[in-house]
Structure 1
Amino acid sequence: MNLKPSLRTISLVLLMSPASVWAQEIIQVKGTKALINLSGTEASVGSDVFAVDSAGKRRAILRIRQVKGDRAVADVVKGTAQTGQSIQARGAGSSAPAPTQARSQESSEDSDDGRAKRPRGFLGQFLKRGTAAGVLAGLSQNSMSLTAKRGTASEDLTLSGNSFNLVGFYDYDLSKSFTIRTKAGIENFDVKGTATNAAVCNDSTACDVGFMYLAGEASAHFNFMTGKTRAYVGAGLAFLFAMGKKSSVSNLDTSNATNQMILLGGGADINMGGGAFVPVSFEYGMFPGSATVKATSMLLRAGYGWRF
């Protein structure tokens, strides 16, 4: 009995089976880039593939950026890619998953394409969007103009000063172009000046006003640069809770425990690689004014952040 034709037939069947999609593998990962060995398989720029571990689980989605010979460079769109993981074309599979597993994978895969695609459900959408967190420290230049009065004495004062602030922040991307940034921390407001009439500042020509606030802030950013380094303009609102206060201006009411500040500004998140970035921002803050008191702050901040 001649076995050679049968052996050739079996070899051809094995080569043409779905397992051939596993011949491709990741040979190097650096940051959000992966180098793929195509093993003779054709790949087109812009196509998506899965990175699959030794257990057959899909761990990442890669998007082919460049093809040269038998190698391809891909962006890690979602998940974690590691050297040695196999590559599977999107839509291919080594076996058919159970219905429940298939629905779970479909939901995950659809949401993994990027921030522009919505996962199913509000909670899924919230968790799958690109997010970031970090810290910001800064310097604020403050000014206050008011009419100081005591008895029959009255004087228009212009006070100014600098103060420091420190906040933590959390970003939530609604899309590539729109981001919500929330902040919480300490905001200080300190100003001082000189009065001609000492009576209006508790019998001293040196006038000073100061507040230490526990702040909760939220702002909406329009990202006009949407690459790894982002630049934006934005507007927001700060809710301020006074933790400490001082004032030598006789008629300035400091009894309110809360205050607000409208914020207008812009900034940039400068990519540092590996998911890290340096946020830099400038904001102009306006406190609610009255007929006798107006106050503003210009806030310059910088810090460190992480994308996850």
Structure 2
Amino acid sequence: MNFKNQLCALSLLLCFSSTGLAASVSAVKGQKVLINLDGDATEVGEEFYLINPSTQKRSAIIRIKQVKGNKALGEIVRGKAADGFTLQAKAPSAMSADAPPETPEEAAPRQTNATGYLRVLKDSWGVLGGYLMNSMDADITYRDSFGISQKASASMSGTGFGFGGFYDYALNNSLVGRGYAAMEQFNVTGSTTEAACNSSTTCDAKITYLSLYGLLKWYPIQDKYRVWLGGGMGYLLALSKSSTALNESEISTNQVFTFGGGLDWQMDRKNYIPVSIEYNMFPASDTVKASMIVIKAGWAWNL
């Protein structure tokens, strides 16, 4: 019976050990630890639990300060470290030196992805394609067949496409600033009951913009799928234009307020697929109200 208990304990130990990383502490000096990565990948700023191999419980939290080749230098955030302790990845949402003590269930090692994706935000850049759903309500002034000034209203909608590039700058461990430049189409078509649009009941506006955006993104969830919410502003410069509903001479530049959310699907530690849906609202005038819903997807590279 005693032999069976020992065999069971050994099996559990091997099972728990297999879920940790291969990286381990090779030296401790004060609040610094030297880590032998043993093939595992990490980034500056990532946090890890240190696992005591004799008890299979978490003993400390460390933060990576420097990475060079197969070695890394870490700083002890909380707890105690010793030679031979192994590393276990720590979720970004729990990164805090003031985190409450773990329960026994939390203290048990869990399966983690050692090299599959980043657990910290980094600067990145990428390309995006967009599908734009546009809408516009316009009050149109025209002259009837007798030369008398009249007014009519038109509700227009349509779709367009966009393509551009972005740069994301990591401000801290949860906020990112994005600069985005793109070519975007604003195409809408509608009708009126009167021949108000160049003597036609069909009204339209077709504009190609060079668009420049600035957004602030907040990441409440950082895992393989990083979720963000954000907002900002855009400056739109009309490069080409034609319209029967608007005065073309007045179409030049515009601004939009943008709000949205998205998902960064991490393919590995270097690349991810950015997907987002954003609502762009043009400041309303006395005669025109317009907006865009933009669905974007693309490819990005971490720096």
- Indicate if the aligned counterparts of 2:237 and 2:253 stay in contact, CA closer than 8 A: yes
Return closer, same or farther for 1:64/1:179 CA change in 2, 3 Å cut-off: closer
- Equivalent positions of 1:1-308 (< 5 A) are 35-36=22-23, 48-49=33-34, 65=49, 67=51, 77=64, 82=69, 85=70, 130-151=122-143, 152-198=149-195, 200-249=196-245, 252-308=247-303
State TM-score, norm by structure 2.
0.64
Return closer, same or farther for 1:264/1:89 CA change in 2, 3 Å cut-off: closer
Count of matched residue pairs: 227
Please, what is the CA RMSD of the aligned residues?
3.7
- Indicate if the aligned counterparts of 1:153 and 1:197 stay in contact, CA closer than 8 A: no
| AA in 1 matched with 2:177 | I
Q: Report the CA distance between 1:185 and its aligned residue.
A: 1.4
| AA in 1 matched with 2:243 | S
Q: Report the CA distance between 1:49 and its aligned residue.
A: 2.9
Give, in whole Å, the separation in 2 of the partners of 1:268 and 1:60. Answer: 21
- Any unmatched runs of 5+ in structure 2? 1-19, 55-61, 77-91, 96-120, 144-148
- Indicate if the aligned counterparts of 1:213 and 1:243 stay in contact, CA closer than 8 A: yes
Return closer, same or farther for 1:63/1:296 CA change in 2, 3 Å cut-off: closer
Give, in whole Å, the separation in 2 of the partners of 1:87 and 1:220. Answer: 32
Larger radius of gyration: 1
Indicate the SS of the match to 2:267. strand
Return closer, same or farther for 1:282/1:77 CA change in 2, 3 Å cut-off: farther
Return closer, same or farther for 1:222/1:63 CA change in 2, 3 Å cut-off: closer
Q: Percent identity?
A: 30
State TM-score, norm by structure 1.
0.63
Return closer, same or farther for 1:222/1:256 CA change in 2, 3 Å cut-off: same
Give, in whole Å, the separation in 2 of the partners of 1:87 and 1:139. Answer: 44
- Indicate if the aligned counterparts of 1:224 and 1:232 stay in contact, CA closer than 8 A: yes
Structure richer in helix, relative to its length: 1
